[in-house]
Structure formats: C-alpha cells, structure tokens
Amino acid sequence: MDKLHQTLMRYFGYDSFKTGQEDIIQSVLNQKDTVAMLPTGGGKSICYQIPGYMTDGLVLIISPLLSLMEDQVERMKMRGEKRVAALNSTLSFQERRHIIRHLPSYKFLFVAPEALMSEMLLEQLKSMHIGLFVVDEAHCISEWGHDFRPEYSKLGEWREALGHPVALALTATATKQTLKDTVQTLRLQHPDFHIHSVNRPNIALVKEAHETKEAKEKRAIELVEYLQGPGLIYCPTRQMTEDMALIMKQKTHQRVEYYHGGMDAGDRMLIQQQFISGQLDLICCTSAFGMGIDKADIRFVIHMSPPQSIEAFMQEIGRAGRDGKKSVSILLYTEEDADIQQHLIQAEGFDEPEIDFFLARLTQMQTNDEKKLREQLMESGLQETRARMLIHYYRMYQSDEPRVLLMKLKEKLQDRQTEKLRKVWQFKERITDHGCFRQSLLSYFYEQLDQTESASSDSCCSSCGLDLSDYEKKDQPLELNEMKHWKTVLDRMFHLTKEAQH
DNA sequence: CGTATAATGTCTAGACATTATACGGTGCTCTAGT
C-alpha cells in the first residue's frame, strides 16, 4: 500500500479513493496550483485533508458559509482531529484572540474571505508557513465576487501577501468562464485542471410549461402528493416560500416547512436538522437552502420558476439523489418567468445619472476607509450590496484621472449587467428548446452527453420521453419511517453514516 | 413584471376604494478592556 492509501486508511478508514480524488491530491502534493470540479457528494474535503497530513504547514480553507465551516470542523473533530478551528464571528473576542495567538498549533483553519480583512489575522498568517490555500465552493468567486461579496475578488492579493502558497480551488459546478475567473482571481500559475462531468445520470429532468402562476401551484401540489419524498421546492421569493409551505400543509399530507435567508439563524438550523434527520418531508425554500446540506436521499426537486443561471439550477437540482438512486427534477415555468428575472437584474444596475451622482459623493469624501465610504453611500439611499459593488470598482480605478475613472466604472457596471442578462437568456433559450433537455444543459458546460454512461431515455428528460410513475410514492407503513428515523439518529450519534465524510 | 404595503382620496368622519411607491435573492463582518 502506498503512502497516499495508508493516509486514507489511517485517518478516514477507507481503502480506496472516489473518482478523481487521487489525481487531485497528487497534483497538490506536486506543489501545483489545482482547480478541481467534482460532482456534489464526490468527497471534496478529503482532497485537502490528506495533503494536509502529508505536508508541512497550515492548511487554510476559505469557505463561504459559517454553517459549512462549522459542519466541517465538527466532522473533523469527531474523526479525532484536534488541530482544527473555524475563525469567525460566532466566536467571542477572547476565543478569536486565543486562536490567532496560538495559530502555530493548528493544522487546519477555516475562514470566510471577509475574515482576511483583519490585519491581526493576516499579520499572524504572514509569519507562518501556509502549506495549502484552499478555496471551497470556488464558484462563489465569480458568482458572488464583485457585487455581493467583494472580498472574494481580493483572495489573489491575499494569497500573494501570504507568500504564494499552493492553491486548491474546489467546486461542483463551473462553466469555462467561472474557471477562468477563478484562475485569474486567485492568480494561479499554470494550474492543473481536474474537471469531472456535471452530469448526474440518476436525476431525471422534467420541464413543464404552464399558463399561469396558479396552474403551477396546482401542479406542484399534485406532484408533492404523487412523488416519493423527501423533496425540495425552490421558490423565487421569500414570500412565496411561506405561501407555498402553508398551501402544502393544508392540501397535502406532508410534513412541510419553509426556509429562507430572512429567518433567524436558530430557526434555519432547526429546520435544516429536522429535514436531514427525516422529521420533515418537504422544504419550500429560496436559493439560501442547499450549500452544505448533506442529505443523501432527497428524491425530488421542484422549481417554481427558473433560477438566474444554469449554474444555479445545476447546483440546486444536484441536491437530489446523492445516494445515486433514481431522483427527479421538475421545472415549472411560464412564458413570463424569464422576463421577471430580466427586470430584476435591470433594476439593480446603475443608470448614468446614478453613477454620476454617487461617484461625485465618493470623490468628495476625503477618506479611503471602506466602512465610511459605504456608510455615506447608504445614507444617500443606496442599498448595501450596490454600495459595496460601486466602492469595489471605484477603488480599482481610483488612481486613474477622473474622466478615465468614470468611463471604466460605467463600462464595468454595464459589463456585469450584460453578463447577468446573458445568463438568464441562455437558460430561457434552453427551456423553450424542444431537443433533449439534458444535452442542452450540458452544452452550456461544453459537454457532450456520453451515450454509454448516460441514463437510458426513459429516465433522461421530458423531451426524451419520461414516465413519472417511476418516481411515484411508495406507501410505507409509519413504523418503518419511524425506525428509519431512529436508525439515522443512532448512526449519526456513532458517526457511521458513510456519506458523512466520504 | 408582479405583489405588498403606504399614502392619498372619497363621502352623511371612520371605514373602504383607488393610486403611488418600494422591493424582490444570495452573507460575511464586529465594540470593549483588565
């Protein structure tokens, strides 16, 4: 047995790697910057943990969500790893200071990109040897980067400040453009790419056109009654998640809750846990639900309208069928759906007078302090996310002369909007197309459907002919459900669930 | 674009219709001090 497999066995108790893992680890061990795309549930965390054990230095993991970090830390601790911590705002000041002061005694450190703004942390990290710089869920770099979480676009700068440690970017869904963004933003040099298909043959793809919103709702109720659960319903707004959950509670016999970003953290955690442990059959949610949800047996995902991009859609349907069993994704849409998205995007853009106005505000201010700039703009009536985006580009071109600055700013904001609109349009195009839906989605990632590995036509997509009765609810006696629930609880207690770590 | 709330308008003065406006989704950060 080679050293790689010995490490795998010693720390994780597995005797073989999943597809792709070994090559990715090898690449990192060879000191190559690496970009890896593995399907959801493909075992991404092993790809940085094993190199961590086999090399010197701290493994710094940039993670987008607090819950994700905490989840990972907990799992690693349950496995027996003590030298791991997540540094974030859930800790008290003392706890944070303690971790920063004792950084050399840690092997794995999880942080959000925003945390690297802290001088104290950055200085301490600079004085250490960083063995590996990991960016988890790397598609966030381009998806959330400039306008939503601008710190994502500074990761490259920070990596350089830390002495250019080897980088590993991990994701499940990325287009060529996203990969390019990742390479650029992280300032990777001649990286190794390990790209695996985004296709999930066990998820059948259905799309249905309806005339009205009411018709979609009616259909959703039918589906929830008919289909084998558990399931998810993705809604475009927070309001709608609550409405749908109410309707479903009244009209179906399912245990239902809603979930969105506006709820407090405790409720969100509770519902997520109840769903994972099998005490809920259905969750009506916005796009806030999903990342880091490790539930293997989700059987269906219904979309009440198309999300803003094909990537987002793939991420969301990818939450179904992680156990490899037959699952189904159903997209309900009306003709107008894409138009709404389009208007939303246009509404968040800046028109010329707005740019002039806010730019004047920015240049008037004698400070370069990000916080103060943001406060000022928000006082002038700008939303936080828009203010941050504007400041980001403003600082990028600040050293140029005013006219050039204005020109570049306008150009950037325009590009950003055009790009978003293009994504909506590209999705719309594929929804109205009558060819194989699966092939059509894969073509967005420049993939060809491989006939040998693909699903047979009766479980491919609605365009290829699909029999929904394959996904019909199997009546299970209640006791069996209860037993299954308790088995899950016990397994979790003793950490026996395979999918937990692998 | 579509929906929810706020503001205005109406006619046996407090409820009710009409019109105007805002917003829609995703999340991190952090004080302070012996």
pLDDT per position as a tens digit, A316-325 = 999 999 899 9
pLDDT digit string (tens) for A174-223?
999 899 999 999 999 999 999 988 888 999 999 999 988 889 999 999 99
pLDDT tens readout for residues A38-64:
877 778 999 999 999 999 999 999 999
- For residue A472, what pLDDT band results from cuts at 50, 70 and 90? confident
Question: Do A157 and A57 have their domain in common?
Answer: yes
Query: How far is residue A439's CA from residue A197's CA, in Å, rounded to a whole number?
Result: 12
Report CA(A380)–C1'(B13) in Å, whole number: 39
**Least confident interval from A84-93, A137-146, A175-184, A236-245:** A137-146
Q: How far is the CA of A216 from the C1' of B10 (A)?
A: 39
Q: Are residues A222 and A368 in the same domain?
A: no
Q: Return the SS3 of A34.
A: strand
Structural domains of chain A, count: 3
Positions of chain B reached by protein Cβ under 7 A: 1-4, 23-33
Which nucleotide is closest, CA of A63 to its C1'? B28
Same domain, A78 and A161: yes
Task: Say if A127 falls within a structural domain.
Answer: yes
The reply to whether A181 and A266 lie within a common domain is no
Nearest nucleotide, C1' to the C-alpha of A214? B2
Provide the residue range defining the domain that includes A457. Answer: 203-334+433-471
User: Where is pLDDT greater, at A388 or A285?
Assistant: A285
Q: Which of A420, A390, A422 lies closest to A406 in space, CA to CA?
A: A390
Q: Where are the beta strands (DSSP E) in A104-260?
A: 108-111, 130-135, 167-171, 192-195, 203-209, 231-234, 256-259
Residue A498 has pLDDT above 60, yes or no: no
Domain assignment of residue A482, yes or no: no
Domain match, A404 and A457 both = no
Q: Specify if A493 maps to a domain.
A: no
What length does chain A have? 502
Indicate whether A265 pLDDT > 50: yes
Residue whose C-alpha is closest to residue A501's, from A257, A296, A253: A296
CA of A381 to C1' of B9 (A): 29
Largest CA distance in chain A: 73
A465-CA/B17-C1' distance, Å: 51
> Are A25 and A50 a contacting pair, CB within 8 Å?
yes
For chain A, what percent of residues have pLDDT higher than 90? 57
Separation CA A387–CA A249 (nearest Å): 40
Q: How far is CA A384 from CA A116, A129, A289, A363, A409, in A?
A: 20, 36, 22, 18, 18
Phi, psi (degrees; rounded to nearest 5) at A110: -100, 130
Nucleotide nearest A285, from its CA to each C1': B25
Q: What is the pLDDT of residues A399-422, one digit of tens each?
A: 888 889 888 888 888 888 888 889
Per-residue pLDDT band for A502 (boundaries 50, 70, 90) equals: very low
H or E stretch at A99: helix A93-101
Distances (CA, A) of A29 to A23, A42, A126, A199, A215: 10, 20, 22, 28, 55
Looking at the fold, whether A383 and A418 belong to one and the same domain comes out as: yes
CA nearest to nucleotide B24 C1': residue: A237
What tokens appear for A56 in the block? 């010197």
Asked whether the predicted pLDDT for residue A496 surpasses 60, the reply is: no
Distance A244 CA to B19 C1' (A): 29
